[in-house]
Amino acid sequence: MRLYRDPDNPGRLAFDEGFYRRIAAETGRRRQVLHHVVPIRSGYAWPLRAGQVVRLVAVEGPQVCDLNLWNLDNPRERFWAARSRQIQGAHVTALDRLWSCLPYLRPMITFTNDTISTEPTAAGGRCHDLLGTRCDPYLYKLLDDRDFDVTCHNNLTRAIAPFHLTELDVHDVLNVFQVTGLDPVHEIYFMEPSPARKGDFLEFFAEIDLLCAISTCPSGDLSQWGWGEDGSDPLAACRPIGVEVYELDGELLEGWRRPESPRVKSVYSA
């Protein structure tokens, strides 16, 4: 068996981990420039400059949060869940990175800190999920013939509309604070309740200028299944998510450069 990325011998995927560890540790050398609490069952989008740090905080307790990322100047460059999964693993934590789609393929963010345990659950589930995607109204229609627009896809679409993006720009998400895995028999996706406690956070560093968007999932902490007609609306399992943006002391950024895309000669000619 050969790993896609050997953590002990990452080769050209190696980077200066100490740089990110310092950012995580030296919190006295940052200044908060944005603090916003995203209400339950809603979306929020915000621009982020390269070199800034974001904390997504479970401000009141467990809650799943769906994340999308675009290059602020070129929304065709967006986060690519499949390639990020191959390189980093199916769940992310500190010192993992999210990579952009082709033909860009560079780290968009690097995670600097994570207060959630990376230990698997009894069922083999892990947190911060790159396997699944967002909930969406098309699936509700397909499965239940139900018109239902309280989903992360709707929330993300509405959040990015002021930035002139549409639902076609919404892409596979990182499910922050969500525990998932694949069952060992069929390799079918499973979910478990979010383990986040009040104050838990996932923190990342922007490698390029970004537009970020999150949705506070209308299914809340995923402790309940089902929705609607039978009275199983998991409203009580829904909590807000805090977004904190920090500007770093310039000295902390010394030596760091925005990553560039690999230069490929041509994909059109032989």
Which tokens sit at 74? Answer: 């070129």
For Zn ion, give the closer residue by CB, 77 or 221: 221
- Of 132-151, binders to Zn ion (CB under 5 A) are 135
173 near Zn ion, judged by CB under 5 A: no
Rounded to the nearest angstrom, the gap between the alpha carbon of residue 48 and the centroid of all alpha carbons in its chain is: 14
Among 54, 72, 127, 152, binds Zn ion (CB under 5 A): 152
CB of 66 to Zn ion, least distance (A): 6
Contact between 242 and 59 (Cβ < 8 Å): yes
Its sign, for the CA torsion 78, 55, 178, 147, is negative
d(CA 238, CA 221): 6
- The one-letter code for the residue type at 50 is A
For Zn ion, give the closer residue by CB, 130 or 135: 135
Number of residues that bind Zn ion (CB under 5 A): 3
DSSP state of 144: H
CB of 220 to Zn ion, least distance (A): 9
Contact mark string toward Zn ion, 196..235, x via CB under 5 A: ---------------------x------------------
d(CA 213, CA 48): 10
156 near Zn ion, judged by CB under 5 A: no
159 near Zn ion, judged by CB under 5 A: no
